Amino acid sequence: MRILTLVRQVLDAEESVRIRDGEVDLNGSKLIVDTMDEYGVEQALRVRESGVEAEVIALAVGPERNQDALRTVLAMGADRAIHVMTELALDPISLSQVVAQVAQKENVELIFCGGQQADWDSHALGAATAERLQWPQITWTNGLEVHGQTLMGKHDAEDGSETFSVELPTVITTQQGLNEPRYPTVPNIMKAKKKELRVETLEEFHVGPKLKFLSAEVQAKARLHKILDGKDAPAAAAELVRLLRNEARVIA
Amino acid sequence: MILVVVEYANGKVSKSTYEMVGCARQLGREGPVTALVLGSGVAAIASEVALVFDQVLVADHVDLAQYDAEVWAAAVAQIAREGEANTVLVGGSRSGREYSPRVAVKLDAPLLEDAISVVDANGTLTAERYTYLARVTEKVEADAPVVVATIKQGAFTAALPGNQVAEQFDVDLNLPQRRVQITGKATEKSSRIALTEADIVVSGGRGVGSAEGFATLVEGLADQLGAAVGATRAIVDDGWRPYQEQVGQTGKTVQPKAYIAIGISGAVQHLSGMSKSKCIVAINKDADAPIFKIADYGIVGDANRIVPAMIAELQK
């Protein structure tokens, strides 16, 4: 079977966000493969390593720098990569059109996608892709086994954990807890340079954005920073309770 | 019409439903603010929301007893089409954010995700939402005949029920077959108020020392304050607390009047789930913990000594 795994290149969460001319400025910042997507890549590799005949294809859509992210994923073990090159900022609903078209062309049966993107804070890409393909979806997956055409595992729902069973083809969105993604080793980084990385252009997909981006700003709420020394615990506790009651008025 | 998908849990209409009505009313778009109640045995829910909507559409069917993303998306898209909705509002809950992208695709509509504000200017909707792990506020515009939006919990003022009782209509749905089989559920029942609806949240991290420490300190203080209980990813992974209590990127997002963080250092993934709380209180022995950077009040010290002292003070 062919497995498609989505790779998005995002700002490292440890980096601070800089805004320039009303847009997030990524120049000079450390960019990484979205950790949520890494769980998907790792899981695809584990499916292949479990004895299932599988080819793992990584897909990235975005500017040229995304090829760094794809090389990382090839070094983790993906078989080949597709880069749909564009400078256009696509919202998840539009992007799902590209993903679905690639999935169809490549005859993919299983798609992995991060549960929430670290730049958009979006949950939409996996679900929208599934809808375009008329496939079911499992979101927030943290356990997965492949038994022939059946996927079994567990995922987080609104009010707790659920175990599920679903037939292929399916979209799986991934999260922390599913696995521990491997680090690319030096020999594998070398090997990855020789792996296929096919570049296509967005024009071939006839997709345009559905949302217009207007502006971005960092709105840090002003905080009071009234921090007490807790060496004298009863006195500090009494003072904090007093502040919360009489100044902040958040407790009775 | 403006279609609002009613959210409810355990036989009670969720606060998010009233917040969506608040959002719909301030939008002032054309047509009645219409409730869609999906479920099985939902007559009481329908009657309750009839006090706040202009009209109520009810699909009460055994096939809707259990939530399913494909079934819900099909139902909502069908009603939006038949009612020629210009706006579809869905709660920013985990399930709402799971099925709403499918609705948007079915309607060929833009999706405004987890909106904290929505404004209509001559038929174009402008929304604000948080991005970059809730560190950035982004403004986007959707210009289309129908727009789907998920509404962030706690971002809009809840509409209050009035004396007018809206008319109820039963609707027939063409529902797809379920393809995802849910084979088991592990839900921990809590007697406390829901995390996303509470005015006060008391949360704990590794700094509380152990599962027992969490019970004494975090639950002890929460019960004294009538607060909900939250936890960090780390201690949920350690099995100290159930997943339902997890706050952060992969858990729940909360913005209570007061968030009291005990033994939480403040990883960016955790902060993304609580940094919009109105008042943040931190108790941690490490003065350099990032949580103090966004705290209004705090104590640098040993939670094992400070929290019991706070409970004693509150009991006075």
Q: A58: which 2 tokens?
A: 């990584």
* A115 contacts chain B (CB < 8 A): yes
Q: B57: which 2 tokens?
A: 């559409």
Chain B residue closest in CA terms to A237: B310
- Shared-domain flag, residues B35 and B127: yes
Q: Do the domain assignments include residue B117? A: yes
Q: Do the domain assignments include residue B180? A: no
Q: What is the pLDDT of residues A124-178, one digit of tens each?
A: 999 999 999 999 999 999 999 999 999 999 999 887 889 999 999 999 999 988 9
Amino acid A183: pLDDT: 95
* A123 contacts chain B (CB < 8 A): yes
Identify the H or E element spanning B258. Answer: strand B258-262
Q: Do the domain assignments include residue B190? A: no
Amino acid B290: pLDDT: 95
Residue of A96, A219, A240 with shortest CB distance to B299: A240
Q: How far apart are CA A240 and CA A250, in angstroms?
A: 12
Where a domain ends, among B104, B137, B170? B170
Residue spans of beta strands (DSSP E) within A53-125: 55-62, 80-85, 110-114
* A199 contacts chain B (CB < 8 A): no
Q: What is the pLDDT of residues B103-157, one digit of tens each?
A: 999 999 999 999 999 999 999 999 999 999 889 999 999 999 999 999 998 889 9
Residue of B98, B233, B295 with shortest CB distance to A223: B295
Q: How far apart are CA B280 and CA B298, in angstroms?
A: 8
- Shared-domain flag, residues B123 and B237: no
CA distance A200 to chain B (A): 24
Q: How far apart are CA A66 and CA A56, in angstroms?
A: 18
- Shared-domain flag, residues B22 and B115: yes
- Shared-domain flag, residues B148 and B246: no
Q: Do the domain assignments include residue B259? A: yes
Q: A29: which 2 tokens?
A: 């910042």
Q: Is the pLDDT of residue B196 over 90?
A: no
* B290 contacts chain A (CB < 8 A): no
Amino acid A211: pLDDT: 96
Q: Smallest Cα–Cα separation from A37: which of A14, A5, A59?
A: A5
Residues 11-50 of B with CB under 8 A from A: none
- Shared-domain flag, residues B164 and B201: no
Contact B232, B246 (CB under 8 A): yes
CA distance B165 to chain A (A): 30
Q: Tell me the CATH number at B201.
A: 3.40.50.1220
Q: What is the pLDDT of residues B216-234, one digit of tens each?
A: 999 999 999 999 999 999 9
Chain A residue closest in CA terms to B143: A211
Contact A114, A33 (CB under 8 A): no
- Shared-domain flag, residues B22 and B158: yes
Contact B236, B250 (CB under 8 A): no
B33: buried, middle or exposed (CB in 10 Å: 19+, 13-18, 0-12)?
A: buried
Q: Do the domain assignments include residue B177? A: no
What mean pLDDT is predicted for residues B50-73? Answer: 97
B194: buried, middle or exposed (CB in 10 Å: 19+, 13-18, 0-12)?
A: middle
* A113-122, B181-190, B194-203: least confidently modelled range: B181-190
By three-state DSSP, how is residue A137 classified? strand
Amino acid A91: pLDDT: 96
Contact A93 B183 (CB under 8 A): no
- Shared-domain flag, residues B24 and B143: yes
- Shared-domain flag, residues B203 and B133: no
Chain B residue closest in CA terms to A124: B101
For residue A163, the chain B residues in CB contact (below 8 A) are: 182-185
| Number of domains into which chain B is organized | 2
Q: What is the pLDDT of residues B9-37, one digit of tens each?
A: 989 999 999 999 999 999 989 999 999 99
Residue of B9, B102, B140 with shortest CB distance to A212: B140
Amino acid B66: pLDDT: 94
Q: Is the pLDDT of residue B190 over 80?
A: no
Q: Tell me the CATH number at B97.
A: 3.40.50.620
Chain B residue closest in CA terms to A230: B301
- Shared-domain flag, residues B127 and B236: no
What average pLDDT does the structure give for chain B? 95
* A149 contacts chain B (CB < 8 A): no
- Shared-domain flag, residues B116 and B239: no
Please enumerate in sequence order all residues whose Cβ is within 8 A of that of B222, keeping only pairs 6 or more positions apart, or say none.
Answer: B192, B200, B202, B228, B229
Where a domain ends, among B119, B154, B170? B170
Where a domain ends, among B135, B154, B170? B170
For residue A127, the chain B residues in CB contact (below 8 A) are: 69, 98-102
For residue A236, the chain B residues in CB contact (below 8 A) are: 299, 301, 306, 309
- Shared-domain flag, residues B203 and B166: no
Contact B309 A119 (CB under 8 A): no
* B211 contacts chain A (CB < 8 A): no
User: What are the structural domains of chain A?
Assistant: 2-205 (3.40.50.620), 223-252 (no CATH)
* A52 contacts chain B (CB < 8 A): no
* A206 contacts chain B (CB < 8 A): no
Q: Do the domain assignments include residue B63? A: yes
* A246 contacts chain B (CB < 8 A): no
Contact B306 A127 (CB under 8 A): no
Amino acid B192: pLDDT: 86
Q: Please list the residues that pair with A61 across neighbouring strands.
A: A84
- Shared-domain flag, residues B150 and B213: no
CA atoms within 13 A on the CB side of B263: 24
Identify the residue whose tokens are 């996303």: B196
Q: How far apart are CA B32 and CA B54, in angstroms?
A: 6
Contact A230 B299 (CB under 8 A): yes
Q: Do the domain assignments include residue B183? A: no
CA distance B155 to chain A (A): 15
Q: Do the domain assignments include residue B132? A: yes
Domain enclosing residue B263, as ranges:
195-315
CA distance A135 to chain B (A): 9
For residue B70, the chain A residues in CB contact (below 8 A) are: 136
Q: How confident is the model at residue B197 (pLDDT cuts 50, 70, 90)?
A: confident
Contact A128 B102 (CB under 8 A): yes
Spans of chain A below 70 pLDDT = none
By three-state DSSP, how is residue A142 classified? strand
Query: A-B interface: how many C-beta pairs under 8 angstroms?
Result: 264
Amino acid B154: pLDDT: 84
Q: A206: which 2 tokens?
A: 């006839």
